[in-house]
Structure 1
Amino acid sequence: AEGVDDEEQERLLSYWQSVGRGHQVDVPRDMAEPIQQLTRNNNPQERQSIPFTLIQRKEKLGDLLYEKRQYGKAKWACIKMKEKQYEQSICLGFMKLMRYICEQNSSGLYLGITVPIVTIVHTNEALSAMTQAVTVAYYLPEVLQEEPPHPFDSDIIIEEWPTTIVYSRSFRGITNEDSIMREINLLAAILESPELCLRDTFIIAGYTN
Structure 2
Amino acid sequence: MDRGGCQMNGGGGGGGGGNHTDQPGMITLEDLESFSEDQLSDSGNGSLEEEAEIMEEGDDRLLHYWQDVARGHQVEVSEDMAEPIQQLTSNNQGRSHREHIPFTLLARKEKCGELLYEKRQYEKGHWACITMREDTYEQSICYGFMRIMRYICQQNSLEDYLGMTLPIVTVVRTDETHSVVSNDVTVAYFLPAEHQAQPPQPTDSEIVLEIWPATTVYTRPFTGPTNEVTIIDQINALAELLDSPGVCVNDSFIVAGYTNPAHSNRQNEIWFLERP
TM bucket (normalised to shorter chain) is over 0.9
| Superposed CA RMSD | 1.3
| 3-state DSSP of counterpart to 2:119 | strand
List per-residue Cα deviations over 1:42-97 (Å, max 9, x = no partner).
12112110000100001001100000001000000101101110000000001101
In structure 2, distance between residues paired with 1:86 and 1:156: 18
In structure 2, distance between residues paired with 1:169 and 1:140: 23
Residue equivalent to 1:54: 105
**Are the equivalent residues in 2 in contact too, given 1:72–1:164 (CA < 8 A)?**
yes
1:112 aligns with 2:112: no
2:219 to 168, 174, 190: 168
In structure 1, distance between residues paired with 2:244 and 2:223: 25
Residue equivalent to 2:80: 30
Residue equivalent to 2:60: 10
Residue equivalent to 2:132: 81
Residue equivalent to 1:189: 240
2:204 to 153, 158, 166: 153
| 3-state DSSP of counterpart to 2:208 | strand
| 3-state DSSP of counterpart to 1:17 | helix
Opposite residue 231 of structure 2, the aligned amino acid is I
Opposite residue 148 of structure 1, the aligned amino acid is P
CA positional deviation for 1:7:
4.4
Distance change >3 Å, CA 5–CA 50, structure 1 → 2: closer
**Are the equivalent residues in 1 in contact too, given 2:118–2:220 (CA < 8 A)?**
yes
1:70 to 117, 121, 128: 121
1:132 to 166, 173, 183: 183
Residue equivalent to 2:153: 102
Structure 1 unaligned spans of 5+: none
Structure 2 unaligned spans of 5+: 1-53, 261-276
More helix by share: 1
Q: Percent identity?
A: 60
CA positional deviation for 1:27:
0.7
CA positional deviation for 1:11:
1.2
